[in-house]
Structure 1
Amino acid sequence: MPKRSSPAALRKAWQQGLNAVTGQVLRAARSAADTVAREAVPSLQKTPSHPSPGLGDWIAGVASGRAGMRRYRLFRPRGLAPGARVPLLVMLHGCGQDPAGFARSTRMNRLAAREGFLVLYPEQSRLANPQRCWNWFDTESGRAQAEAALILAAIDQVCLLYPADRERVALAGLSAGAGMAALLATLHPARFKAVAMHSGVAPGLASSATTALRAMRGRAMPAETAPLPASDQWPPLLVIQGTQDKVVAATNGVEAVRQWSQAHGVSTQESRTVQRGRRRPMIVTDFKRGRNIAATLVVIEGLGHAWSGGTAKAPFSDPEGPDATAMIWRFVAKRFRA
């Protein structure tokens, strides 16, 4: 006959089982809490490697607003003159990217170190979008506008804490970052001297995830889009688009410059074909009102959904294309000087 366990032994076994289950639950809870904390509080996340060692400082920051909090990185080149106010270029990454990866791919920090300007890299959170895409399309719910306000808060913070010239700020973005850059420029046109869209969707073509997919495939109807109000405040627009982009249809670039041209009352177009060395050829079209350029469209033959002229082997980067980094800086630097 089997020996019965004593009440004390049963209590001990029950307590051991309870402790084991409780421990598993607590470990799972701590892991989930740590994940949320790393997304919400920058200081709790492991610091990523400097994408441009030796060229300047890679400064961490965080901005907050009604959409929550977002981390950002600021590249500050070495050797800036004490007391000088320098231009600020805001770089908005695409889906699946972060500031460090975007900086490595575009090599914008190297150019900033040579030319003497600051580069701000706001970072989308995985809590806001699992693929780190900026929610440029979600205007119906107001989430897109809230994220735009967060980016603007980061810009204001950098202009307050660092030697950024508030009167010389420009925007540039890739893919979802390009869509967000266009949205920011249309919401706050007086805040920016220029905006550059690389492989992005024209503003106003989407208001939800469903309509965003339609717009990316080039199936949005421009007639459904309210035109941008006519104003000479709209910052000049540079659009860079590849003919072999399978993610964002090339018609989006045409639609973006059409909107900008209509807002500026453009009367003339001038096109030219350019090829530098063995890089991919491009057709550059300037949309002018008088002597002033309202928009420039750069269509690159054979370029897919990637940063043109970017670092070899980096994600979303095509080293065979013309140098988009240099093109963007030349475009915005002219507006800074003007």
Structure 2
Amino acid sequence: MKMNDAFLASMHEAMELLHTAGPLQATAVIQRALNQSDPAPASKSAPMPAQVVQHLLEHHFVAPDTTSEQRYKTTTTVGDFSVGQFSNQAGKRAYKLYKPRSEMHARMPLVVMLHGCTQDADDFAAGTRMNALADKFGFMVMYPIQPPTANPSKCWNWFRRGDQQAGSGEPSILAGMTQEVIANHHIDPDRVYIAGLSAGGAMAAVMIQSYPELFAAAGVHSGLPAGSAHDLPSALAAMKGGKVLSAAKRNAATPRRPLIIFHGDADCTVHRSNGDRLIEPYERGGAQKRVEYGSSGAGRHYTRGLVKTPGGIDAEFWLLHDTGHAWSGGGGGTYTDPKGPDASAEMVRFFLSHPQSSLL
């Protein structure tokens, strides 16, 4: 069912209000448009509330695309990049698995990479250059693929209640897929990690909170904390930087695994305050903290915060200055910033220094 032109115009008005007046005003426009819709027969193309939610979330998350010449230019790799399928009671997803050519006698780590909206496995692999790092350091990389049938813009559905808990929805699929790959390949179960960009980063935050026994550490690039949203108004508020988490939810989000965060301070898609919210639970109590300042070879400056909780759990927050909604240090795929520090290399460094432990 397609949305009619009048309703699309109302939604574009709502998007303008989102940027200028805030989510409450934007939601009011949506509700008014719904109330004013004629009770048309089923044969007419009347919009449904679910379509409104989907349209706004997708268009707010999707950044301007790069040119076609920039897409899929990737560093040469020598391993095997194959397609797999996984299904369970929650649904079915395809994935691509990269295996370095060099034989490893010891079990290898696994890094699960969750792409952003409009991306796919090949695009994300090209943009992050993670496969080249897999060749260098000897680990496998799995790229789950979100199909347009699950989300028209291929966003992971981080904002839906049914996709935020262990044992249900997309978290169940991603966890089951990871467990199947571990069982079928020469992978060390104590060195399994997950990372993502934007909507993929938000889902990576959900996964590390929901499955700390499966993932040893996580990386969130330009994402949001788990539980940031449960519907349209809260999702828009979270992306804009509004206060959406209650004190009870914040207190429940006690860190159980190491986390590395990257976020641009000029990100107009997911406000930088979401990076602050991700690191905040690690900074409570008597946490050890220190701050470093640096710049990439291309002159992109950053502030790096290092935190260790009283329980000994590490976290890093890289605040990328003058950087928008893009993977820092990436190149070849969409939504990358080649001038920034190498987020992929820093994530791998962080991951490999944090194998699974008994801390929960």
TM-score (norm 2): 0.74
Alignment-derived partner of residue 6 in structure 1:
none
RMSD over aligned Cα, in angstroms? 2.2
> What secondary structure sits across from 1:178 in the alignment?
helix
Which SS does the other structure have where 1:227 is aligned?
Answer: helix
What's the counterpart of residue 295 of structure 1?
A: 315
SS of match in other structure, 2:223: coil
Is 1:118 matched with 2:131?
no
Distance 1:50 1:268, change over 3 A: closer
The structure whose RCO (Cα within 8 Å, separation 6+) is larger is 2
Contact 2:195 2:201 in 1 (8 A): yes
Aligned residues: 283
Distance 1:203 1:318 in 2: 25
Question: Partner of 1:180 in structure 2?
Answer: 203
Q: 1:15-35 CA deviation, whole Å, 9 max, x = no partner? A: xxxxxxxxxxxxxxxxxxxxx
Give a deviation string over 1:215-269, Cα, whole Å, max 9, x none.
Answer: 011013333561354767x11111100011010000000011113444xx55232
Gaps of 5+ in 1: 1-48
Residue 346 (structure 2) pairs with residue 327 (structure 1): yes
1:283 to 2:303 alignment: yes
Q: After the TM superposition, which parts of structure 1 deviate over 2 Å for at least 4 consecutive aligned residues?
A: 49-54, 220-225, 227-232, 259-262, 265-268, 276-279, 289-294
1:146-225 to structure 2, matched below 5 A, reads: 146-223=169-246
The sequence identity of aligned pairs, in percent, is 37
1:267 equivalent in alignment to 2:287:
yes
In structure 1, C-alpha distance between the alignment counterparts of 2:196 and 2:336, rounded to whole Å = 13
Question: 5+ unaligned residues in a row in structure 2: which ranges?
Answer: 1-71
Aligned to 1:136: 158
Letter of the aligned partner of 1:281 in structure 2?
Answer: H
Contact 1:286–1:293 (CA<8 Å) still a contact in 2?
A: no
Measure the CA separation in 2 of the matches of 1:241 and 1:255.
11
Code of the residue aligned with 1:303 in structure 2: it is: T
Moved more, 220-229 or 182-191: 220-229
Q: Distance in 1 between matches of 2:291 and 2:338?
A: 24
Name the SS for the 1:87 alignment partner: strand
Which residue, out of 37, 51, 72, partners 2:95? 72
CA deviation profile, 1:168-192 (whole Å, cap 9, x unmatched): 1011100000110010111111221
SS of alignment partner, residue 58 of structure 1: strand
User: Is 1:95 paired with 2:117?
Assistant: yes
Is 1:255 the counterpart of 2:277? The answer is yes
Over alpha carbons, which structure has the higher Rg?
Answer: 1
User: Quick one: structure 1 residues 323 and 50, their matched pair in 2 at CA, closer, same or farther if it must change by over 3 Å?
Assistant: closer
Q: Confirm or deny that 1:62 pairs with 2:85.
A: yes
TM-score, L = length of structure 1: 0.78
